A and B are shown apart, each in its own frame.
Chain A
Amino acid sequence: MTTISYRDEGIKLYSTGTGLINQIVSKENIIAQNMKTRIDDQSKPQTMIQEKYTKRYQNLKVAEALSNNHLYPFACNELSSIIDLGYSQLPKDLKAFIFRDCLSAFRLLPDMNTSAAVSAANLLVKSVESAFPKQKKNLAIVEFKQAKVALKRRTKGHDEHIDLPSLPQDILVHIFSFLDVYSLLSSSQVSRSWNQATSEGSLWRSLFDLHFSHKVSIHIHPGFDWREAFKNEYILYKSSKMLRSGRGYCSYCDSVVWHDNLRCPKKQCRLKSGKKPLDLMLTHQVVNYLLGTTSSSDESDSEDEAVRGLWAYPTLQ
C-alpha cells in the first residue's frame, strides 16, 4: 500500500511526536488488519473500530493517573481536551468510560488539596457543561459540587501554630534532587533558606542533563552557572509548552505514557533507554492518537501545519 510508504518516509524525515504517533497509528492499523483477517465475516467493522478506540483509551491509563497526586491535574486536562475536541465522535462505550472517569475525577478532588487540582477540575467541569448530554451533565455537576463542599470542609480545620524543625541545607538539597523543574521553582519561592538551597548548581546540572543533554553539548568552565544554562535551553526548546501535558511516547514499549521525570515509568524501558529521555507529547497530539485524527490545536505553530499536509489521508480502516 502506497500509504504505508508515505508513512515510512515521514518517519525518517520527522522524528517529532506527530510522526511517532502516526507510527503508532500505522502499527495499530496493521494489528487491526491482522485481527480482521482472523475473525470471520460475520463481525461488523463498527465494533472493531469501537474496541480500538476503547483499547487505546484504556492504554492511556487516564483513570490510574487520577488517583495520583502529581498526575491528577494532567489527567483532568487531558480529559477536558478529549471532551472538547471529540466527544461527539466517540463510540458509545468510550463515552461511558469518559463519563465514569469524570465522576471519579470529581470524587477524588477533595483528596488532592492543591490549587492546581482545583483549577484542573474547574476546567473539566466547563468541558462537561458544554459537551455532555443533559442527564450525564447533571450527574457530573452534582458530583463536582459535593467535592467542592468536601474541600471547603477540609481546609477549615487547619490552624496549627507549631514550629517545624528547620531542615539543614544539605538535606534540603537532597530532597530537591528528587523534584521536577516546576516543583523546584515553586520551592525556590517558598522562603529564604529554601531559595538558597535551590540555587545549588548540582540540582540544575542534573536537570539540564535530564532535559537537554541529548540535544545540546556545552562547554563547562569553572563558575559555570547551570541554572542560567538550563533557563536558556528551556526557553529555546519551549519546554514549558512540551511539559504541559505530562505525556511522552516511549519507543521501547511503543505506547503513550505518563512520563516519570521524562522517563518511561516501566522499569525495563528505563534500563533499555539509559539516559535518553522520552519524546514529549502535547495534549492535542494525545487526543489525536486516541481519536485517530490529525487535527492540530489552536496553539499550533507553523511546523505543525507543514507536517499536516503530509499526513492528510485516511488513517482508520
Chain B
Amino acid sequence: MSESDMAIIKPEMMKSYIWLETSDGSIQQVEQEVAMFCPFICHQVLQKGAGSSKNNAISLPQKVNPAMLSLIFDYCRFHQLPGRSNKERKVYDEKFMRMDTKRLCELTSAADSLQLKPLVDLTSRALARIIEGKTPEEIREIFHLPDDLTEEEKLEPLKNTMDDPRIRLLNRLYAKKRKELKEREKLKSIEVEEHVDERSVDDLLSFINGRDHKVVNTSKSKKKNKKRKEHKNGTCKVSNKDSHNLHSKQRSVDETSSSLGGVSNLHNIEDDIFSRKAEFEDGYIDDEIDPALKEMLDREVEDFARRLNSSWVLSVGQERQPVHFSINGNGDTRRLTGPAARHK
C-alpha cells in the first residue's frame, strides 16, 4: 500500500469511500484510507476494481460480521495515520485488546480473513496470554471446547496417537453425553423429587448388579471425591448416588472403549449410536421423562458394551473366548488379557 497507489486511485475513483458488503447482506461505506489498510480490501480494489459503488460492493469473507468489522476499522483508522508514535500505538493496542475471549476469537478470525497481519498477531498474543499457565480443563471452560480426546491420548501428550475417525466420533458423543448428564444432575439438585429417583436407582442397581458387582465398588470410591467437589446444599442423597452410578458407568465404558483402541469394526455401532442419539435428543426436549431417559441411556450403554464385546471377538478371531470386561476397584480396565493388554 504505497503512496503512489493512493495517488492513482484517487483521481480515478473520484471518491474517498469504499463500499463493502458483509456476510449478512448489509452494505456500508468506509473511508478509503481506512479500508485500504486491509490487504484483502486493497487487493479487491486494485485487481478487480470493486467497491466503487453500492452495486459494486466488495463482499467480505464470511467470518467478518458487522460488529467485528467496526472494531477492525477502529483499529485501522487509528493505525493508518503515519503521524502516530510507537508508544501511542502500543498504548492503543493494549487498550484495544481488553475484551472478552469470545470477541477476541471472532476478531482473530475476522482479521485473519481480511489478511490484516498486525491485528492477527496482536489478538493471537492476547489469546496466548489467556491460555498460558492454565490446565486443560480451565482452557476448555474458557473457550467452550468439547472434551473429545480419549484418556489414553491425554496421558501421552507427547506421543503420536492413532487417528481413527470412528473413535473420534464416539469420543465426541461421549463428551456430549457426559455434559448432558452433568446438566441433569444440576436440574436434579434443584427439584427434590424423591419418588422419581427411587425408581431409576433400582433400575440402575439391577443393571449394575447384572453386569458386574465390582462396579459398585467403583461408584462408592468415587462418591467421596464427588461429595467433596459438589458443594450443593439440600441435594437429596439419592440423586447423588444416581449420578455417581451413572458417572462410574460412563467412565467404565469410556475406559473399555479406549483400551480397545485398535478395534476396527465399529462403523455399524457408530451408525446405531447416531440413530439412537437422535432419539435421545428428542426425548431430551420433554423434561418429564427423566427416569425413562435414564433407562434409555443405560440400555444404550449396555448395548454398546455388548457390541464392543462381540465385535472384539470378531476382529480378534482365533483363540479368543469372549473377553470379560473386568473392572477393578479403581475403575481400571487395564488388566484385560491378550491383545487388550498389549495396548497398555
Contact = CB atoms under 8 A, between A and B. Distances in A.
B128 interface: yes
A164 B128 contact: no
Nearest to A235: B158
B135 A114 contact: yes
Contacts of A114: 133-135, 138
A162 B147 CA distance: 16
B145 to A, nearest CB: 4
Given A165-B63, A174-B124, A190-B140, A179 B132 contact: yes
B136 A164 contact: no
Interface string B185-226: 000000000000000000000000000000000000000000
A171 B143 contact: no
B171 to A, nearest CB: 8
A186 B141 CA distance: 13
B112 A195 contact: no
B175 to A, nearest CB: 9
Interface string B127-163: 1110111111011110111111100011001101100
B112 A171 contact: yes
B144 A171 contact: no
Contacts of A194: 145
B149 A191 contact: yes
A167 B110 CA distance: 10
B63 to A, nearest CB: 7
Interface string B70-84: 000000000000000
Contacts, number: 112
B290 interface: no
B131 A187 contact: yes
B108 A167 contact: yes
A135 interface: no
A199 interface: yes
Contact of A164 (B105, B129, B160): B105
B309 interface: no
Most chain A CB neighbours (cut-off 10 Å) among B105, B132, B148: B132
Interface residues of A, number: 42
A231 interface: yes
A191 B132 contact: no
A206 B337 CA distance: 42
Contacts of A70: 129, 132-133
Given A174-B124, A195-B149, A195-B153, A180 B132 contact: yes
Interface of B: prevailing SS = helix
Most chain B CB neighbours (cut-off 10 Å) among A160, A178, A188: A178
Interface residues of B, number: 41
B109 interface: yes
Contacts of A192: 146, 148-149, 168, 171-172
A175 B132 contact: no
Contact of B136 (A170, A174, A189, A227): A189
Interface string B93-137: 000000001100110110010000000110011011101111110
A196 B250 CA distance: 25
Given A165-B105, A171-B108, A199-B160, A191 B145 contact: yes
Nearest to A161: B144
Contacts of B120: 171, 174
Nearest to B110: A165
Given A70-B133, A168-B109, A179-B132, A185 B143 contact: no
B102 A162 contact: yes
Contacts of B135: 114-116, 186
A239 interface: no
A69 interface: yes
17 contacts: A114-B138, A116-B133, A171-B109, A171-B120, A175-B124, A178-B125, A179-B128, A183-B128, A183-B131, A183-B133, A186-B135, A189-B157, A190-B139, A191-B146, A192-B171, A227-B158, A227-B160
- Pick the 8 closest A-B CB pairs, nearest first: A178-B128, A189-B136, A191-B145, A175-B124, A231-B158, A188-B157, A189-B154, A190-B136
Interface of A: 69-70, 73, 114-116, 158, 160-165, 167-168, 170-171, 174-176, 178-180, 182-183, 185-195, 198-199, 225, 227-228, 231
Given A165-B63, A165-B105, A178-B125, 12 more contacts: A114-B135, A161-B144, A167-B105, A167-B108, A171-B108, A175-B108, A186-B139, A190-B136, A190-B139, A192-B146, A195-B149, A231-B158
